[in-house]
Amino acid sequence: MPKKTQRNGFYYFMLDFKRREEKKGNKFNDLREIQDNPKCDQEWKALSVEEKKKYNDKAKKDKAGAAEKRTGLGESVKLLEKQQIEQQKYEIMMKEYIDCNIDQAYNFNQLDHMSFYFIHVNWYYTKTDRNNVVDYIPAEFSVIEFSLSDGIKRCYQEIIKIVVETGYTRENLEHSEATHKITACNQGETSDYKDLYNKFFDFISSGDRSIKKLPPLYTSRKMKTVVPCLFERMTAAADTSRETFDLFSLEYLFGTLMLRLNEEFPESGNRASLAEAELEKDAFVWTPNIECAYHSQVGSGRYCSQSIVTQWAFTFCDYCCPLLRIKMINGKHCPNNNDDESLTASMHSMRIKEDKASTLKSSTGVSESHRQQVSSRTRQENEERKKQGRALTIIDYSEIEEEKTSIIVPSASVSASNSRGKQQPLRYPISLSEVFTDHCTDSPPKVDDDNYPAIGALKSKSRSKK
């Protein structure tokens, strides 16, 4: 077995360099290309002693932890436990922040004017690094500013242009075709994550660069591992000392609003799960004209990020606005009535065409109007029509054969019976239950060795006697 290559400080510097350059759109097949890259060599030499020490200490720590306990996937158990503890602390902080802000806004009658930011991200394909962490390559994102009083205030949406790495083309095409329909042929013009960061920051801060604390962004449970991949790329490309974006649970926010506004909401229940069930009803999934211009052309509005965040806002308003007695505005709190009217008009025109077609007779010779007339009759009307009609006459053909009686039947029935000729009486059914009854003339056979010899024995006599 070959000896494992020793990883020094320069190795970890190359990993950071590769990560930074790939987020800027540059592409490397392996670490050899990075090692031969003049820019990487210049940056390494330009580092101070303290900066190089950080990478050297990381190499020593990795060497010391080579024998530590790991999972079947090679993950450090100690690191996983540390990440789990950090995640629990982050969720506790998030819940305390949401509870405190919602309660405070409600007590001061400012809940309807409180702004929230919703974000959704689509991706091209996924990658898994050496620590078994899944990285989502962003394709599109959309952010809206929303409040209960004003509905959707602003929207910011971008389609990101990338260079698909070798080996991921098929996954990119399959995932794009099944969802958002964004491929290498129809990508956007934006590929600079630094520019995206500046635009994103200006949108969240409303153009105030001196703001000290940015408001959190909310996304669904399914997006909580996707959205951070976009944030990491933007902050790394911007190379800024400003804080990163906080990402909170959309379901917990919605559940907290439901708990605060609805007196019948169960306090002991899991508010996030109940809110998630309400969001997953997809009550507004087929709302027209809420997707971006691109998805409106390709006909994939259901997976459009702008459409999804708009549906979230409509769901919030549909539940909360009636409880706060807020008059909902078309296109802001709920779907636009103009879209509903156009949909109603098209359905009305379809009904007119169906009515015109119903006047024509079908292949059976019965018009659709006659079918509707018959189906609209009540049960009492059908009974009266039956009484007025000709009574049903039953003919016993056995009596006709025996000529015991003469039956007077309508002329049509007589002609039909004469055409049949002399009718034979029906025989008794010879079923298993009738085999040994008086209807059979033969007596039951005697079961013995002569009539029914054993299997394999010589047949000395016939089973049936004549």
Is there a contact between 95 and 259 (Cβ–Cβ < 8 Å)? no
User: What is the pLDDT at residue 409?
Assistant: 43
CA–CA separation, 382 vs 92, rounded Å? 70
Mean pLDDT of 444-451: 64
**pLDDT per residue over 353-392, tens digit each?**
444 444 444 444 555 566 666 666 777 777 777 666 555 5
**pLDDT per residue over 247-262, tens digit each?**
999 999 999 999 999 9
* H or E element, residue 414: helix 411-420
Is pLDDT of 421 > 50? Answer: no
Query: Which pTM value belongs to this model?
Result: 0.62
**pLDDT per residue over 144-197, tens digit each?**
999 999 999 999 999 998 888 888 989 999 999 999 999 766 666 667 898 999
| CA-to-CA separations, 158 to 23, 155, 171, 385, in angstroms, rounded | 16, 10, 22, 70
| CA-to-CA separations, 36 to 6, 33, 41, 47, 186, in angstroms, rounded | 19, 5, 8, 18, 34
CA–CA separation, 288 vs 344, rounded Å? 13
Higher pLDDT, 151 or 401: 151
CA–CA separation, 202 vs 196, rounded Å? 10
Average pLDDT, the chain: 77
Angle formed by the axes of helices 250-261 and 271-279, nearest 10°: 100
Joined tokens for residue 46: 């330009």
User: What is the pLDDT at residue 384?
Assistant: 74
Is there a contact between 121 and 230 (Cβ–Cβ < 8 Å)? yes
